[in-house]
Amino acid sequence: MMGAFAGRVVLITGAARGQGRAHALRFAREGAAVAMCDVSAPDPASMSPVASADELSETASLIRACGVPALAMFCDVSDEQAVAAMTASMLAKFAAIDVLVANAGILPRRQDAWAVSAGDWNRTLAVNLTGVWLCAKTVARAMIAAGHGKTTTISSTGGMKGSPGFAAYAAAKWGVIGLTKTMTAELAGHNVNVNAVCPGPVATPMVLNSAFSPSAAGQQGDPAEELARDLRAPDAAVDRRRSR
């Protein structure tokens, strides 16, 4: 198959749905073989339920329909042994890793920083920051050995400024930028690029749920638009939430 990524092997975490699925399909349409993972167990810290096994296998089917190989794996990116096993499975099947998109993430319940439990804080950091580091460091070894590679980490505009109601999320996403800048410098001499992407609001299940916004239950407007307003005017968003 032809395409900008023909013959390349990519690994995308959190690919069962949302932006991860979109990244996976885009790479597939450009000819890449796509390895992907998602988590298999519910996550009590996540505001919205994590993806289902059916969604992961549907992403794999959509990729195969593009005419490229797909490998779908269950992996909790916060679990070092699971990340090592996932990477080993991918290397066993494709014998290479050219691109990593460290996309998996959760949005925790909306609470002021002083109300967040240590459990929710630790879990958010474990998935959104430690999970990115574990995946990036594990594939870095294979990329160094191959003499090339590209890792993209997914931060957020929440990693560039404060996010009232989402202290752990913001802290993790700021951390992703620090990790990325550091690994960029460390790996440059190995011809391995590490870059961060900071999406603004995107209409995925992370925000399209009634816990994030009543509008997601069809009561008012578009939750992605509400998030956009929050990000543009965080102080106003705080006032609005207080009045609820």
Catalytic residues: 169
Q: Is residue 146 a contact point for ligand NAD (CB under 6 A)?
A: no
Stretch that binds ligand NAD, among 135-143, 179-187, 201-209, 233-241 (CB under 6 A): 201-209
In single-letter form, the type of residue at position 34 comes to V
CB of 159 vs ligand NAD, minimal distance in Å: 8
CB of 153 vs ligand NAD, minimal distance in Å: 9
Q: Nearest CA to 194 among 116, 97, 106, 99?
A: 99
Contacts (Cβ under 8 Å, ≥6 apart) of 140:
149, 151, 183, 187, 192
Q: Nearest CA to 109 among 170, 204, 44?
A: 44
Q: Is residue 175 a contact point for ligand NAD (CB under 6 A)?
A: no
- Identify the H or E element spanning 242: helix 234-242
- Identify the H or E element spanning 37: strand 33-38
Q: Which of 11, 24, 28, 39 binds ligand NAD (CB under 6 A)?
A: 39
Q: Which of 17, 63, 171, 230 binds ligand NAD (CB under 6 A)?
A: 17
Which of helix, strand or coil describes residue 130?
A: helix
Q: Is residue 106 a contact point for ligand NAD (CB under 6 A)?
A: yes
Evaluate the CA torsion angle 141, 142, 145, 150 in order and state its sign.
negative
Q: Which of 67, 119, 162, 199 binds ligand NAD (CB under 6 A)?
A: 199
Please report, in angstroms and rounded to a whole number, the separation of the first and last CA atoms in the chain: 53
Q: Is residue 129 a contact point for ligand NAD (CB under 6 A)?
A: no
Q: Is residue 171 a contact point for ligand NAD (CB under 6 A)?
A: no
Which of 7/162 has CB closer to ligand NAD? Answer: 162
Q: Is residue 100 a contact point for ligand NAD (CB under 6 A)?
A: no
CB of 139 vs ligand NAD, minimal distance in Å: 15
Which of 146/197 has CB closer to ligand NAD? Answer: 197
Q: How many residues bind ligand NAD (CB under 6 A)?
A: 33
Q: Is residue 154 a contact point for ligand NAD (CB under 6 A)?
A: yes
11, 101 in Cβ contact below 8 A? yes
Helix axes 53-64, 18-29, angle to 10 degrees: 20
CB of 7 vs ligand NAD, minimal distance in Å: 26
Q: Is residue 206 a contact point for ligand NAD (CB under 6 A)?
A: yes
Give dist(CA 131, CA 56) in Å, integer.
19
Q: Nearest CA to 89 among 77, 104, 73, 101?
A: 73
Residue ranges that bind ligand NAD, judged by CB under 6 A: 13-14, 16-20, 37-39, 43, 50-51, 75-78, 103-106, 127, 131, 154, 156, 199, 201-202, 204-207, 227
